[in-house]
């Protein structure tokens, strides 16, 4: 699927609430994983149907319901009906090309952002859509495929870390977003190391065609990262300013750290964009300098041979009578004049520092 995604023809004209999967199917069957916890108990479950997880709406504990696989229209319809969530939200969940966004509804807060994979695919840095739906007691998270991306958060819950088990689903949403942003920093750091190695190349190496291709590929990756990371900053700023009743006052304190991290991410992006622009300018400057050196050599070579060609042309004519034509040493004199003339021109060019 294209990484710079646009609307497809078959999507035009669909009603806003129509559940329609937009993306590449990455799992055969959706997987529902549940962690239900409070300060004293942590329970983990796996379910096959939405009907089995509806009971968690009524509990006093905090529940994290993670759905791996977002292609099943029937499953999404049952979630919308069972949790009284607007179908527009679930339609956005099924759109893997959705721009990072935060939307507040009466009984839920919808958050969508991209997770980046440190392991690059053939097309470059891989990504996956993450959607969060925050409700009073339940956090619903949706991923395109099963993975261990949020295993550190699960381990904190299993170990009953005080802060996360005492807080509600709003803090859990913050914890998941924090993992995503931290991963942004790690991906950018690894990506930055590749960019900075361009400075270590010798000037002769920089002239190679593959270096230019590398610079253009990196610039494309930076544009892709900016497309997903900059809107994530807007999302977090909107989250920090939200007046939703679903967010506890203590959560806003932790969001300041998230804002600092995403600001650091955007600064890194701009720095790497400038570095690549500078590298591209250096490449073109070096290429122009190399071309000028070649042109200077060819010009000097041509200028030296112009008068020599002139002399050879005169004495190569077919007239019967030419001065010094029958003189015994004419040939050697002509060679002497040509050599002396060439040497004098080289000395002149050298003193002018033309080479």
Average pLDDT score over residue span 317-332: 73
Q: Is residue 4 part of a domain?
A: no
Which pLDDT belongs to residue 203? Answer: 47
Q: Which pLDDT belongs to residue 3?
A: 52
| pTM as predicted | 0.74
Looking at the structure, do residues 76 and 221 belong to the same domain, yes or no?
A: yes
For the chain, the domain total comes to 2
41 and 168 belong to one structural domain: yes
Read off the pLDDT of residues 330-346 as tens digits, 9 standing for 90 and up: 778 778 888 888 888 88
Q: At what angle do helices 249-314 and 169-196 cross, to 10 degrees?
A: 20
* 51-74 mean pLDDT: 92
pLDDT of the residue at 209: 62
Q: Is a pLDDT exceeding 80 seen at residue 54? A: yes
Range of the structural domain that residue 346 is part of:
315-351
308: three-class secondary structure by DSSP: helix
Residue 342 sits in the same domain as residue 245: no
180 and 222 fall within a common domain: yes
Residue 1 resides in a domain: no
Is 111 among the domain residues?
yes
Between residues 287 and 11, which one has the greater pLDDT? 287
Please give the distance of CA 278 from its chain centroid, rounded to a whole number: 18
Shared domain check, 339 and 280 = no
Query: Per-residue pLDDT tens for 227-266?
Result: 888 888 888 888 888 888 888 877 777 788 888 888 888 8
Res 167: pLDDT: 87
Q: Give yes or no: residues 211 and 327 share one domain.
A: no
pLDDT of residue 124: 67
Between 289 and 37, where is the model more confident?
A: 37
Residue 86 belongs to some domain of the structure: yes
pLDDT of 321 reads 67
* 279 and 322 inside one domain: no
Same domain, 253 and 149: yes
pLDDT of 127 strictly over 70: yes
Residues 131-181 pLDDT 10s: 999 998 899 999 998 888 899 999 999 999 988 988 889 999 999 999 999
Assess whether 243 and 117 both reside in one domain. Answer: yes
Q: ∠ CA 143-145-149 to the nearest 5 degrees?
A: 70
**One domain for residues 250 and 165:** yes
Domain contains 209: yes
Q: Could you tell me the pLDDT band of residue 199, with boundaries at 50, 70 and 90? A: low
Q: What dihedral angle (degrees, nearest 10) is formed by the CA atoms of 103, 104, 106, 107?
A: 90
Residue that is last in its domain, among 267, 286, 305: 286
Specify if 307 maps to a domain. no
**296 within domain boundaries:** no
Residue 62 inside a domain? The answer is yes
Q: How many CB atoms lie within 10 A of CB 30?
A: 18
CATH of the domain at 229: 3.30.460.20
Q: Any bridge partners for residue 109, and if so which?
A: 104, 134
Per mean pLDDT, which range of 129-138, 202-211, 274-283 is the poorest? Answer: 202-211
Strands 138-143 and 62-68: parallel
Q: Are residues 240 and 320 in the same domain?
A: no
Q: Are 274 and 226 in contact (CB under 8 A)?
A: no
* Domain end call among 265, 286, 307: 286
Residues 6+ apart with CB under 8 A from 180: 113, 114, 115, 130, 232
Q: Are residues 113 and 249 in the same domain?
A: yes
pLDDT top residue among 199 and 203: 199
CA-angle at 53, arms to 47 and 56, nearest 5°: 140
Asked if pLDDT for residue 204 goes beyond 60, the answer is no
pLDDT band at 1 (very low <50, low <70, confident <90, very high): very low
């Amino acid at each position: 699927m294209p990484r710079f995604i646009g609307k497809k023809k078959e999507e035009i004209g669909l009603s806003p609430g129509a559940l329609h999967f937009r993306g590449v199917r990455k799992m055969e069957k959706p997987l529902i994983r549940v962690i239900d916890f409070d300060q004293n108990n942590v329970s983990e479950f796996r379910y096959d149907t939405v009907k089995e997880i509806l009971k968690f709406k009524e509990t006093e504990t905090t529940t994290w319901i993670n759905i791996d696989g977002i292609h099943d229209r029937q499953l999404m319809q049952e979630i919308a009906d069972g949790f009284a969530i607007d179908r527009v939200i679930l339609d956005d969940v099924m759109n893997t090309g959705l721009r990072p966004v935060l939307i507040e509804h009466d009984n839920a807060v919808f958050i969508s952002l991209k997770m980046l994979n440190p392991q690059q695919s053939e097309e470059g840095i891989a990504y996956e859509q993450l959607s969060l739906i925050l409700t009073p007691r339940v956090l619903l998270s949706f991923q395109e495929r099963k993975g261990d991306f949020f295993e550190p958060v699960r381990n904190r819950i299993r170990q009953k870390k005080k802060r996360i088990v005492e807080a509600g689903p709003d803090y859990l949403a913050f914890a998941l977003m924090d993992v995503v942003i931290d991963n942004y920093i790690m991906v950018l750091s690894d990506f930055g190391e590749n960019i900075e190695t361009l400075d270590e190349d010798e000037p002769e190496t920089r002239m190679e065609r593959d270096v230019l291709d590398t610079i253009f590929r990196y610039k494309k990756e930076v544009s892709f990262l900016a497309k997903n990371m900059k809107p994530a900053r807007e999302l977090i700023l909107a989250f920090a300013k939200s007046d939703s009743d679903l967010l506890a006052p203590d959560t806003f304190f932790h969001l300041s750290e998230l804002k600092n991290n995403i600001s650091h991410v955007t600064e890194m992006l701009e720095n790497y964009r400038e570095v690549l622009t500078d590298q591209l300018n250096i490449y073109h400057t070096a290429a122009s300098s190399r071309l000028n050196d070649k042109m200077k050599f060819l010009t000097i070579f041509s200028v030296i041979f112009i008068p020599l060609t002139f002399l050879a042309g005169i004495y190569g004519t077919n007239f019967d009578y030419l001065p010094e034509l029958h003189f015994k040493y004419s040939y050697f004199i002509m060679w002497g004049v040509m050599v002396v003339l060439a040497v004098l021109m080289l000395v002149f060019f050298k003193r002018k520092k033309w080479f």
